[in-house]
Amino acid sequence: MLAFKKIEYEERVQKVKRVMEKRGIEVLLITDPSNINYVTGYDAISYYVPQGVILALEIEEPIAIIRFMDRHCAIETTWMSEEHIIAYPDKYLWEPKQLHVMNFIGDVLTEKGLQNKRIGLEYDAYYFNAHWKNKLLEALPNAQFLDATKLVSWVRAEKTKTELEYMQVAARIVEKTMRNAIRKIDVGIRETDVAAGIYHDLIEGTDAFGGEYPALAAIMPTGDRTAGAHFSWTTEGKYQNNQPVYIEISGCYKRYHAPLARTVFIGEPPKQLVETTKIVIESLNIALATIKPGVTCEEVERVWQKEINKYGLEKESRLGYAVGIGYPPSWSEDTAYFRPGDQTVLKQNMTFHMMPGMWLDGYGVAITETLRVTGKGCETITQFPRELFIK
């Protein structure tokens, strides 16, 4: 049931350990579910409770610390030997004033003789809150703690052949889903019915590959709501004439994502929307053509920004972000971004969601692609017509 061959996981661990060595981190506590998945394969819907993976320079295999009822999930989805899966009972949960899971993790580290080490923590991860940090610091008074936020996330940047194959599957799933959704949108159709179809298709997958649940809910505002960036559907609304609709969704396979957004107009689109869409697509194409190994992320954004500025438009928000493994609440790798100041140098097989969404006064337009940096340029992983869809 492993998503990758054991050797691929072992190589990942080696890569992470090399970075740890360089940064003087002897022990790393990974709590971000995407990073946990990357290093161990662990995949279960258990990230709502504290859990962690310990990577120590002096111990070969990672050690997963998991809630007791999830032990079987860890045995089945990770590559490590069973004694490297350590389960804590429920009494360590939800009692901030008593023993906490972080006390349990502290005890495991102490048992392994790692209590005085230089320990890296993911301070800025989704699943490492202020309370957990306090508890861990209390549990290990002699350790030295370092910020290892995104250490693993950065190792994930360049994708292997198999990872790219999974993203291709995710792309086929999202393309099919987008096609059906656009077909279905029409005057009088309930927004929930289109949303239900989207979820159905994302999870049904293709004939060959079933889909998984994406890290983020479907973004699909209509009408005025397209001026807000992160609306889902409404429970009461029906599509009406003379409304824009935009849809941002992602296929997911083996936790790898391929996001895609398109804009639809029901009826005769206003000139301004047609114009904006044209500018967005042209500038997107120019930005895509800029991407190649050696170029920095901020350069890509600068080219895009310059292009839309010509037409009097401006984009305040980032143009895109690294993408791959994801768990709620995000499919972003939260490392490299196409935005001012990001001097990340592009390398082959980095993957991004280029997100030229424009949220303007009263409406929004988004036409996006998931892409891979190739040896000489870039190719989109998602394949879908770049146009304003008229219904």
Q: Which of 68, 48, 71, 73 is nearest to 126 (CA)?
A: 48
Contacting residue, 213, 282, 295, 313, with a second copy by CB under 8 A: 213
Kindly state the helix (H) or strand (E) to which residue 290 belongs, with its residue range: helix 271-290
Check residue 287 and report its DSSP letter.
H
Ramachandran category for residue 165: left, alpha or beta (phi over 0 → left; psi -120 to 50 → alpha): alpha
Could you say whether residue 149 binds a second copy (CB under 8 A)?
yes
Contacting residue, 229, 274, 281, 313, with a second copy by CB under 8 A: 229
Task: With contacts defined by CB under 8 A, name the span among 16-24, 131-139, 257-265, 303-311 that binds a second copy.
Answer: 131-139
Could you say whether residue 233 binds a second copy (CB under 8 A)?
yes
- For 308, the token pair is 């839309």
Could you say whether residue 126 binds a second copy (CB under 8 A)?
yes
Q: How far is CA 229 from its chain centroid?
A: 17
Ramachandran angles phi, psi of 353, nearest 5°: -100, 110
Interacting residues with a second copy between 289 and 328 (CB under 8 A)? 316-318, 327-328
Give CA–CA dist 159/350, Å, rounded.
6
Could you say whether residue 219 binds a second copy (CB under 8 A)?
yes
Could you say whether residue 203 binds a second copy (CB under 8 A)?
yes
Could you say whether residue 254 binds a second copy (CB under 8 A)?
yes
Could you say whether residue 186 binds a second copy (CB under 8 A)?
no
Q: How far is CA 349 from its chain centroid?
A: 16
Could you say whether residue 209 binds a second copy (CB under 8 A)?
yes
Could you say whether residue 76 binds a second copy (CB under 8 A)?
yes
Interacting residues with a second copy between 91 and 110 (CB under 8 A)? 91, 93-96
Contacting residue, 302, 334, 386, 391, with a second copy by CB under 8 A: 334
Radius of gyration, CA atoms only, the chain: 22
Q: Which is nearer to a second copy, 69 or 187 (CB)?
A: 69
Give CA–CA dist 103/109, Å, rounded.
10
Q: Is 153 within 8 Å of 32 (Cβ atoms)?
A: yes
Give CA–CA dist 132/220, Å, rounded.
35
Could you say whether residue 142 binds a second copy (CB under 8 A)?
no
Cβ of residue 229: shortest distance to a second copy, in angstroms?
4
Name the one residue in this structure whose structure tokens are 């997100």. 355
Cβ of residue 213: shortest distance to a second copy, in angstroms?
4
Check residue 95 and report its DSSP letter.
-
Cβ of residue 133: shortest distance to a second copy, in angstroms?
4
Residues in the interface with a second copy (CB under 8 A) total 89
Cβ of residue 95: shortest distance to a second copy, in angstroms?
8
Interacting residues with a second copy between 32 and 71 (CB under 8 A)? 44-48, 67-71
